[in-house]
Amino acid sequence: MAGREALFEYRRIGAYVKVTAIDCLTGLEVSIVGDAKAGELRLKQTALKKLEYVLAKQATAGR
């Protein structure tokens, strides 16, 4: 995702946090749910990795 921007939304649900990552260029959204104790950075990295995975998968499917 070099040179691309992503937005993140965090929603606490009890002991868990739902993190939504949105690719600004395509509007594609992915979500993960993780332990709130994991910390914001780790949850953000996990959501970003999922977003990168889905974007790559879509790119290869479009060939």
In terms of pTM, does the model score above 0.95? no
DSSP secondary structure letters along 16-54:
EEEEEEEETTT--EEEEEEEGGG-HHHHHHHHHHHHHHH
The residue ranges of every structural domain in the chain are: 6-61
Digit-coded pLDDT (tens) for 12-54: 999 999 999 999 999 999 999 999 999 999 999 999 999 999 9
Asked if 22 and 31 count as a contact pair (C-beta separation under 8 A), the reply is: no
